[in-house]
Amino acid sequence: MVRAEILIWVSCMLIASINVVEAVGVNWGTMMSHPMLPYTVVNMLKANGIKKVKLFDADSWTVSALAGTGIEVMLAIPNDQLNHFSRHYDNAKHWVKKNVTKHLYNGGVDIKYVAVGNEPFLTSYNGTFLKPTLPALKNIQKALDAAGYGDKIKATIPLNADVYSSASDKPSDGNFRKDIRDLMTEIVQFLHSNNAPFVVNIYPFLSLYGNPDFPVEFAFFNGGSKPTIDKGIQYTNVFDANYDTLVWSLKKAGVPDMKIIVGEIGWPTDGDKNANVQFAQKFYDGFMKKMASNKGTPLRPGHMEVYLFGLIDENMKSIAPGDFERHWGIFEYDGKPKFTMDFTGDGHDKLMVAAKGVQYLPSQWCVFKESKNMSLVPANVNYACSLSDCSSLGYGSSCNNLDVNGNISFAFNMYFQMQSQDVEACDFQGLAEITTKNASVGTCLFPVQIVSAGERIRSVAGVNTVAVLLMIVLVLL
Ligand SMILES: *[C@@H]1O[C@H](CO)[C@@H](O)[C@H](O)[C@H]1NC(C)=O
Ligand SMILES: *[C@@H]1O[C@H](CO)[C@@H](O)[C@H](O)[C@H]1NC(C)=O
Ligand SMILES: *[C@@H]1O[C@H](CO)[C@@H](O)[C@H](O)[C@H]1NC(C)=O
Ligand SMILES: *[C@@H]1O[C@H](CO)[C@@H](O)[C@H](O)[C@H]1NC(C)=O
Ligand SMILES: *[C@@H]1O[C@H](CO)[C@@H](O)[C@H](O)[C@H]1NC(C)=O
């Protein structure tokens, strides 16, 4: 009797944890100067039990690495290709053949979705992608249908939560943005008729970042801030309120039961006063607990499908929106986990499994050589920062407390590492020198770069060429 109960309890726990892990996917972006090998990243996903990934393109090396893993994949078409696919159906057909069908052999890649564009209606794009997006979506879905995969693979458009808003702080006043309301209505009805989901990116961090009066606790999931009351429903966090604003907007567009996927959600760890490991951990702890409870939101209780943003820090992302853009990873650039993550939601925080087999460049740094004449410094620091990543130096960031010399060294080192430690990249008109003494200062990390995937492949290819030449020489002898 007791044993049976334990058995039932254990299997319930197992089912609960499996559910969470399967519902939570990750975004795998690759805008970094030194990416790990796709195969290394895929093994890291597997080691952490991550079962879904969302990509930002259809890079064949990356997609092939996912074959046979059972990991569900969302491929993507970048915004700058939307015109190409909106213009001719044949372009879409060709893309599906080369980038989808190719991977769908027995034991191949489990492709579930194709993202057509990425947040194409951001107001900062000034309407550039308003015209081509829907025609591109239709052409891609038509091509998927024609290839015989229409039931299994759905085309959709990941959209930023700025495509809708509420006239008040109440979700029930929500609707799609006025300038795109007709277009959004057409899009959601097309998606709905095709059984495709609405994919939305929701960022509590940005609510806090963009509004100095925003109540901090409302960005998290622990309660502790004044709830918003809407038609008798209490909203205790901005995520639920935002999500339900979308639910209301969909209702008003005539598709009240449309499936919603959260395409991106996460918290950055550097580059702003609210972007740090403590806050990120607090956010993910609360969010994972919510996912584990299958509570959903007040208007959509139950199971929810989400993709965390993002998997790995990306040092080449644009920092136009803010320095935090390069620090969204739940893993560092070298595949080390940043914090514990509770993928079961039952309070069992575990450090995630780091990437294995990552190769580092030599343990050396490029630093400022003290100089009496500082007149050349500003131009050299600007040069270094503009071509590398100084996003950890700003106010509230991990390296903001460096002294003047430390600042200069940080910039020089970032450039040197990003140039794969090329000796000539550590000169700066004679202001810099290479050292083997770890230049990190307190919590400010002066990183040593890793050998990037491209370089590793080139060096292996080089070795192979030498081997082949040797063989030929031996045979000739
Ligand atoms: C496949 O997708 C990639 C990335 O979007 C793109 O560069 C490539 O041109 C596509 N291949 C074809 C044949 O369209
Ligand atoms: C949008 O317009 C603004 C202001 O005119 C301009 O600064 C920005 O570069 C434009 N962005 C794009 C993507 O065209
Ligand atoms: C500092 O260096 C600059 C550029 O080499 C030079 O023009 C300037 O005269 C120097 N200043 C002093 C005080 O040596
Ligand atoms: C270091 O650089 C950062 C970013 O440019 C700046 O905010 C900070 O004031 C600098 N610190 C010193 C001591 O110059
Ligand atoms: C340099 O020191 C930092 C901080 O102590 C440490 O995290 C990092 O691993 C060290 N780097 C190397 C290459 O030893």
Per-residue confidence (pLDDT) for residue 56, from 0 to 100: 98
Roughly what angle, to the nearest 10 degrees, separates helices 2-23 and 277-293?
A: 120
Residue 372 pLDDT class (50, 70, 90 cuts)? confident
Residue 133 lies in a domain: yes
Same domain, 28 and 113: yes
Per-residue confidence (pLDDT) for residue 2, from 0 to 100: 43
Instruction: Pick the last residue of a domain from 305, 327, 351.
Output: 351
Residue 406 pLDDT class (50, 70, 90 cuts)? very high
Residue 5 lies in a domain: no
- Identify the nearest ligand to the CA of 377 by its number: 3
CA distances from 112 to 71, 229, 327 (A): 10, 37, 28
Q: Which atom of ligand 3 is nearest to the CA of 429?
A: 5
Ligand 1 pocket, 237 CB below 6 A?
no
Per-residue confidence (pLDDT) for residue 1, from 0 to 100: 38
Per-residue confidence (pLDDT) for residue 23, from 0 to 100: 78
Residue 6 pLDDT class (50, 70, 90 cuts)? very low
Same domain, 375 and 341: no
Per-residue confidence (pLDDT) for residue 350, from 0 to 100: 81
Which of 5, 22, 119, 305 is flagged as catalytic?
Answer: 119
CATH of the domain at 274: 3.20.20.80
Distance from Cα 372 to the centre of ligand 3, integer Å = 10
Same domain, 191 and 213: yes
Which residue's CA lies nearest to atom 14 of ligand 3? 373
Ligand 4 pocket, 404 CB below 6 A?
yes
Residue 179 lies in a domain: yes
- Identify the nearest ligand to the CA of 127 by its number: 2
Tell me: the pLDDT tens digits for 13-57?
444 444 455 679 999 999 999 999 999 999 999 999 999 999 999
Determine whether 119 is an active site residue: yes
Can you tell me the distance from the alpha carbon of 54 to that of 96, in angstroms, rounded to the nearest whole number?
Answer: 17
Ligand 4 pocket, 370 CB below 6 A?
no
Residues lining ligand 2, judged by CB closer than 6 Å?
125-126, 128
Same domain, 430 and 347: no
Residue 311 lies in a domain: yes
Tell me: the pLDDT tens digits for 256-265?
999 999 999 9
Same domain, 336 and 376: no
Residues 321/322/327/333 CA torsion (nearest 10 deg): 80
Task: Round the average pLDDT of the chain to a whole number and report it.
Answer: 92
Residues lining ligand 5, judged by CB closer than 6 Å?
363, 438, 440, 445, 448
Same domain, 135 and 238: yes
Same domain, 260 and 379: no
Q: Is the pTM of this model over 0.85?
A: yes
Number of domains in the chain: 2
Determine whether 5 is an active site residue: no
Which of 186, 264, 325, 424 is flagged as catalytic?
Answer: 264
Residue 460 lies in a domain: no
Same domain, 63 and 111: yes
- Domain of 251 in residue numbering reads as 18-351
Residue 117 lies in a domain: yes
Same domain, 186 and 221: yes
Q: Nearest-5° angle of CA 22, CA 133, CA 79? A: 70
Q: Which atom of ligand 2 is nearest to the CA of 126?
A: 1
pLDDT at 468 > cutoff 60: no
Residue 466 lies in a domain: no
| pLDDT above 70 coverage of the chain, percent | 90
**DSSP state for residue 414 in the 8-state scheme:** H
CB 264 within 8 A of CB 203: yes
* E-only strand ranges, 214-349: 228-230, 233-235, 260-265, 305-308, 340-341
**DSSP state for residue 24 in the 8-state scheme:** E
Same domain, 223 and 339: yes
Beta bridge partners of 260: 198
Same domain, 347 and 372: no
Residue 10 pLDDT class (50, 70, 90 cuts)? very low
pLDDT at 228 > cutoff 60: yes
Per-residue confidence (pLDDT) for residue 3, from 0 to 100: 47
**DSSP state for residue 275 in the 8-state scheme:** B
Of 175-189, 282-296, 322-336, 379-393, minimum mean pLDDT range: 282-296
Per-residue confidence (pLDDT) for residue 119, from 0 to 100: 98
Residue 297 lies in a domain: yes
CA distances from 355 to 41, 154, 202, 324, 335 (A): 7, 31, 28, 23, 5
Per-residue confidence (pLDDT) for residue 131, from 0 to 100: 98
Tell me: the pLDDT tens digits for 69-128?
999 999 999 999 999 999 999 999 999 999 999 999 999 999 999 999 999 999 999 999
Same domain, 219 and 141: yes
Look-up of token digits 């050589």? 369
